[in-house]
């Protein structure tokens, strides 16, 4: 198989679990050295690094809170110092603290905004000067189809996912002349461990929306991210690509 990311170095935020894990492994399978951050899941992060190294790539796990501006800069500096250079940023880390708007607390709102939206800014701000100076780079932001359509009981989460779409388009304009592409991937319902534990009626409602009749896999998202990080996508920027089996059409 052609290693379309041979020699590239990537950061994947939230890379120890779920979609982030699949992205980190697929980037490595396609030739990239991969660093991932984690906040709590130390064992899982080290397991991913071991899997990356089995592929003959370099892996690195850095404990860093995506909501911290200083942690983001520290991680980028660590990656450059340890792996030599830096080419790809995949912003993936996120949380949800659901609740109807009349019951949502300030803490629920602030935590989701700090991680899901400010966290993406923190890493983009840390890498932008480097990508600008070297005249190349790839940024892929993981959003959600619910950032396009809204979702009952998720006003905080949806606000961040819609914000990520606007952030993607604006940063694509800022960095385009430096040959840096910035795109977003919007998954529908993906069969992560969390979704597997969801009540059957919730899964059935989602399945009824999906034209292809099955939930997505984490790998389905990872394949699109890898493509966008490669030179095969060099003329694509400012786009939002849905990976949802037709769930939102």
Residue 49 pLDDT > 80, yes or no? yes
CA distance linking residue 170 with residue 141, whole number of Å: 13
Helix/strand/coil for 27 = helix
> Are 127 and 76 a contacting pair, CB within 8 Å?
yes
Residue 93 domain-assigned (yes or no): yes
Using a 10 angstrom Cβ sphere, with 0-12 exposed, 13-18 middle and 19 or more buried, the burial of residue 207 is middle
Give the H/E segment covering residue 60: strand 59-63
**Does 234 reside within a domain?**
yes
Q: Round to whole Å and give the CA distance between 31 and 6.
A: 4
pLDDT band with cut points at 50, 70 and 90 for residue 197: confident
Buried b (16+ CB within 10 A) or exposed e, 60-81: bbbebbbbbbebbbebbebbee
Each residue's pLDDT tens digit, 70-123:
999 999 999 999 999 999 999 999 998 989 999 999 999 999 999 999 999 999
**What is the mean pLDDT of the segment spanning 138-163?**
96
* Residues recognised as catalytic: 157
Q: How far is CA 230 from CA 3, 77, 119, 132, 182, in A?
A: 10, 23, 24, 18, 12
Does 204 fall in a domain?
no
Residue 40 has pLDDT above 90, yes or no: no
The number of domains in the chain is 1
Question: Would 97 be classed as within a structural domain?
Answer: yes
Backbone angles phi, psi at 240, to 5 degrees: -120, 115
Whether residue 182 has pLDDT greater than 70? yes
Rounded to the nearest 5°, which phi and psi values hold at 140? -125, 125
CA distances to 4, 21, 55 from 59, rounded to whole Å, are: 18, 12, 10
Tell me if 27 is assigned to some domain: yes
d(CA 120, CA 85): 20
pTM for this entry: 0.96
DSSP secondary structure code for residue 178 in this structure: G
Best CA proximity match to 95, nearest among 198, 20, 204: 20
- Residue 196: the pLDDT is 80
CATH number at residue 168: 3.40.50.720
- 196 in a structural domain: no
Instruction: State the burial class of residue 231 (Cβ atoms within 10 Å of its Cβ: 0-12, 13-18, 19+).
Output: exposed
pLDDT band at 198 (very low <50, low <70, confident <90, very high): confident
Is 216 within the bounds of a domain? no
Give Cα separations from 73 to 46, 78, 123, 212 (angstroms).
21, 9, 7, 41
Q: What is the pLDDT of residue 202?
A: 79
Mean pLDDT taken over the chain: 95
The DSSP secondary structure of 66-122, one letter per residue, reads TT-HHHHHHHHHHHHHHHS---EEEE-------B-TTT--HHHHHHHIIIIIIHHHH
Position 1 confidence tier, pLDDT thresholds 50, 70, 90: low
Res. 8: pLDDT tops 70: yes
pLDDT of residue 19: 97
Neighbours of 99 (CB within 10 A): 16
Higher-pLDDT residue of 39, 155: 155
Q: What domain range includes position 133?
A: 9-190+221-243
pLDDT band at 6 (very low <50, low <70, confident <90, very high): very high
Please report which confidence band the pLDDT of residue 51 belongs to, taking 50, 70 and 90 as the band edges.
very high
Tell me the pLDDT band of 64, cut-offs 50, 70 and 90.
Answer: very high
- For residue 202, give every residue at least 6 positions away whose Cβ sits within 8 Å of its Cβ, in sequence order, or none: none
Mean pLDDT for 159-188 is 98
Percentage of the chain modeled with pLDDT above 70: 100
Cβ atoms 62, 45 nearer than 8 A: no
Provide the pLDDT confidence category of residue 50 given band limits of 50, 70 and 90: very high
| Mean of pLDDT values over 176-193 | 95
Does a structural domain hold residue 86?
Answer: yes
Ranking 5-19, 156-170, 182-196 by mean pLDDT, the lowest is 182-196
């Amino acid at each position: 198989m052609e290693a379309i990311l041979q020699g590239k170095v990537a950061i994947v935020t939230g890379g120890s679990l779920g979609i982030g894990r699949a992205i980190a492994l697929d980037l490595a399978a396609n030739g990239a050295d991969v660093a991932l951050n984690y906040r709590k899941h130390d064992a899982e992060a080290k397991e991913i690094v071991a899997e990356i190294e089995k592929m003959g790539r370099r892996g690195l796990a850095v404990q860093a809170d995506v909501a911290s501006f200083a942690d983001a800069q520290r991680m980028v500096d660590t990656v450059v110092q340890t792996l030599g250079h830096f080419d790809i940023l995949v912003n993936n880390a996120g949380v949800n603290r659901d609740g109807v708007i009349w019951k949502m607390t300030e803490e629920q709102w602030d935590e989701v905004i700090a991680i899901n939206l400010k966290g993406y800014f923190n890493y983009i701000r840390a890498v932008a000067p480097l990508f600008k100076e070297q005249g190349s780079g790839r940024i892929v932001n993981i959003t959600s189809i619910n950032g396009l359509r809204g979702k009952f009981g998720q006003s905080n989460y949806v606000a961040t996912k819609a914000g990520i779409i606007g952030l993607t388009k604006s940063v694509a304009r800022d960095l385009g002349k430096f040959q840096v592409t910035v795109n977003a991937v919007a998954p529908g319902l993906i069969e992560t461990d969390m979704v597997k534990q969801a009540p059957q009626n919730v899964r059935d409602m989602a399945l009824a929306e999906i034209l292809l009749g099955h939930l997505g896999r984490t790998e389905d998202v990872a394949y699109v991210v890898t493509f966008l990080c490669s030179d095969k996508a060099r003329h694509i920027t400012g786009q939002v690509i849905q990976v949802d089996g037709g769930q939102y059409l």
